[in-house]
Copies of this chain bind each other. A is one copy, B any other.
Amino acid sequence: MINRRQLSRTFALGVAASRSRKFANAQENPAGSASWINVLPGIWKATVGTPEVFTPVRSRLMPPAQDKFSQLPNVGAPPLSALAGRVTERGCVLQISMPPGELIYGFGLQLLSFSQRGKKKTIRVNADPKLDTGDSHAPVPFFVTTRGYGLLVDSARHVDFYCGDARPRPTHSVKATLGAVNTPDMTRKLALQDPGEITIEVPRAKGVDVYLFAGPSMREAVQRYNLFAGGGLVPPEWGLGFWYRAEQHGDSAAITKLATEFRERQIPCDVIGLEPGWQTHAYSCSFAWDSTRFPDPKQFVSNLAAQGFQVNLWEHAFTHPSSPLFDSLLPCSGDYGVWGGLVPDFAGEKARNVFGDYHGRTLVDIGISGFKLDECDSSDFTGGWSFPDFSRFPSGVDGEQMHAVFGLRYQQAIWQEYKKRSRATYSLVRSSGSLATPYPFVLYSDLYEHRDFVRALVNSGFAGLLWCPEVRDAKNAEDLVRRLETVVFSPLAMVNAWYIKNPPWKQIDRVKNNADHLENDWQTLETRCREIIGWRMQLVPYLLSAFEAYAANGMPPFRALILDHPTDAALAEVDDEYMIGDRMLVAPMFAGEAERKITLPDGKWCDFWTGKPVGERKFSLPAKTERIPVFVRSGSVLPLAHVGPHAGSPESAKLTVKVYGDGSLSWQGGGVAGSGLALSWDEKSRKGSVRYNDEGRKYTIAGWEQLGEPN
């Protein structure tokens, strides 16, 4: 049952705290083993010691999606016994027992590992996660386990999670045996199988709230977390089209020419992104148009809109003394700066309002569709790229806490301007954190290997995050194609060409590209890329329905296979394949690898491209495999859009329905009752039927196509 009093108290406390100028410690129960108190269906809270006031939940700005929990199974009792915890001079320590074989996933946007048992993860925002330490653009102190629960540690500090690798000392001597193990390897294997404990240290805090999310399986635990965060978002249709970021020095004429070229060459595109050069000063930012490059920004945006393009603007939040924002931000900024600019106190309402209001008036109002917040992810050791952990902010938070929420609260500052205007945004941000689920922002970076990009996408689904494995700096044509294939099967399909004047398919080499020395046969690669971008345009209705499920019941639109099949041991380590919605499985190809090993979950699967049934659960595909391997559940009925110039074009509203296998898995806007289009297939007559409900989009069905043979 819902404990509404508990919930509303929690939520109200957070809002009140975020409005107070200076946070003080809230009084909760004393230190010790803590019992679980039910706060929402299948969600419990336990408090150890006296938590800090500024935490992700206590300072939350979006309420839980309370009305949507009824879709999840009822769970009577918390899945864990009372929480063992103690307050120490260092902070506080929590202990959770872990039976043999239990596996752990999550911790936000992890790039370098997947299954976490036996490892240590530190939740620290850091732009350079080149080691598997937990550092990431968007780490989240939330995990799920195969026992079927999820746990959120409500802290904005650098929480350490020891996932069974911290082990109490032995207590008794044993007899010596000769010829024993003289290597650590076996000990490490044992650590994965022995019973152990998940041990969590929250630094500095004299107490902490912990939230427990019941299953019965990991899948429902993730759904509950997402609904607790406020529920998933549905992007605007254009957000699911194709994005292209132009070279950073391009002026309005150059950008307009590029846009025209896309239309002339029939390369679909919805969003054009501008990089630093649109501003009078960047690193740090002025947020003011450079009139030498953009003499009439409003007209420029309007002209692009007439061709069906949205405009997205790069920025970081560090505010240069020449910015019109400077004077009003100064009193609500941190005591340390970055690149000679102010660090807005986004933990406080005032800085969010000042920053947001300026963006609303000067940029949103002229038609800018969204932003890309760079450099908010604490490039901690790059040298001068971030603010120190000991920074102090007027709201009362310190630099360590601010790092955890800087990207997240920026999202709030921007999003509220779009909400005020009843407009949608779909934007980019390089850092996020706890309870980010409802925010219409997608994470990105450019530092990583293609495999790491895919692993990040797989992990993102455990913690309410969206991830864009953007394409740039491809090593060669094969790499460009393989990366582009991945990104069109991701939450945001973007090529980031900030450093080259011509699209990468014309010339991959940076120097040659900028000297307009194009590849002799560039049209061949352009044709290939046009086709791949076309796949994205076909997918938009399917993607929309996957996001509708995210909003309706918290099911992440992009997720690990293990989340749908939590007891399938064969999937426990699969970190290079993922589900989109309930029907589609993607297994990206990686350039330069000899073959692609694929594992499918139990059940019948078809090849997405040919409809042919797949015979085996484990198999390999050769490197020359032409198209990215995608599989659909046999029986699926999938509506694919026709390829238009952009996602809002009339062509894009025409659908061809593909039927896989016996077509028994009818289509209901992604399986969610009450939204969109309903399609079903009658295997005997080999005919489909269409039904629109009240909220259905204005699609027309151009035809039905049965692929392969029913199996």
Contacts and interface: CB of A to CB of B under 8 A. Distances in A.
Interface of A: 88-90, 93, 118-120, 128, 130-134, 160, 162, 164-184, 187-188, 191, 199, 201, 203-204, 248-249, 276-277, 279-284, 286, 288, 290-292, 321-323, 326-327, 330, 333-343, 380-381, 383-385, 387-390, 398, 400
Nearest to A275: B182
A180 B327 CA distance: 20
Contact of A89 (B118, B119, B204, B335): B204
Nearest to A339: B187
Contacts of A342: 169-170
Contacts of A120: 380-381, 383, 388
Nearest to A204: B90
28 contacts: A89-B398, A90-B400, A118-B383, A118-B384, A130-B130, A133-B381, A165-B384, A166-B387, A167-B384, A168-B337, A169-B330, A170-B321, A171-B330, A173-B321, A173-B326, A173-B327, A176-B286, A178-B280, A178-B292, A182-B282, A183-B276, A183-B283, A184-B283, A184-B339, A184-B385, A191-B383, A201-B388, A203-B203
B398 A90 contact: yes
A175 B323 CA distance: 8
A284 B169 CA distance: 12
A278 to B, nearest CB: 9
B398 A188 contact: no
A188 to B, nearest CB: 6
Contacts of A131: 128, 130-131, 381
Contacts of A248: 182
B169 A343 contact: yes
A330 B169 CA distance: 9
A655 to B, nearest CB: 43
B279 A182 contact: yes
A511 to B, nearest CB: 17
Contacts of A277: 182
Contact of A166 (B183, B284, B336): B336
Contact of A383 (B93, B188, B389, B398): B188
B339 A280 contact: no
B337 A169 contact: yes
A335 B168 contact: yes
Given A182-B276, A188-B384, A170 B340 contact: yes
A128 to B, nearest CB: 7
Contacts of A400: 90
Per CB-CB distance, the 4 closest pairs between chain A and chain B, nearest first, are A169-B337, A182-B276, A176-B322, A184-B283
A164 B330 CA distance: 22
B182 A384 contact: no
Given A165-B384, A167-B336, A177 B90 contact: no
Copy number in this complex? Answer: 2
Contacts of A281: 176-177, 180-182
A128 B340 CA distance: 33
Contacts of A249: 182
A407 to B, nearest CB: 18
A187 B385 CA distance: 10
A338 B162 CA distance: 13
A281 B180 CA distance: 5
A381 B175 CA distance: 31
Contact of A288 (B176, B182, B201): B176
Given A90-B204, A170-B321, A180-B281, 4 more contacts: A89-B398, A176-B322, A181-B283, A199-B390
Contacts of A334: 169
Contacts of A336: 166-169
Nearest to A190: B340
- Interface hub of A182, A277, A387 (most chain B Cβ within 10 A): A182
Contact of A322 (B118, B173, B290, B343): B173
Contacts of A335: 168-169
A119 B286 contact: no
A43 to B, nearest CB: 27
A46 B600 CA distance: 65
A203 to B, nearest CB: 8
A181 B285 CA distance: 10
Contacts of A175: 322
A389 B201 contact: yes
Contacts of A323: 173, 176
A347 B166 CA distance: 20
A88 B169 contact: no
Contacts of A276: 182-183
Contacts of A187: 283-284, 339-340, 384
Contacts of A327: 173
Nearest to A279: B182
A401 to B, nearest CB: 10
A613 to B, nearest CB: 40
Nearest to A388: B166
Contacts of A385: 184
Nearest to A131: B130
Most buried by B among A176, A290, A383: A383
Most chain-B CB neighbours within 10 Å: which of A162, A249, A291, A388?
A: A388
A650 B290 CA distance: 80
B388 A337 contact: no
Nearest to A181: B283
A377 to B, nearest CB: 14
Given A178-B290, A339-B187, A160 B322 contact: no
B199 A388 contact: yes
Contacts of A390: 88, 90, 93, 160, 199, 201
Instruction: Name the residue among A120, A191, A292, A327 with the largest chain B CB count within 10 angstroms.
Output: A120
Contacts of A134: 381
B389 A160 contact: yes
Given A160-B389, A177-B281, A322-B174, A384 B191 contact: yes
Contacts of A381: 119-120, 131-134
A179 B336 CA distance: 26
A702 to B, nearest CB: 46
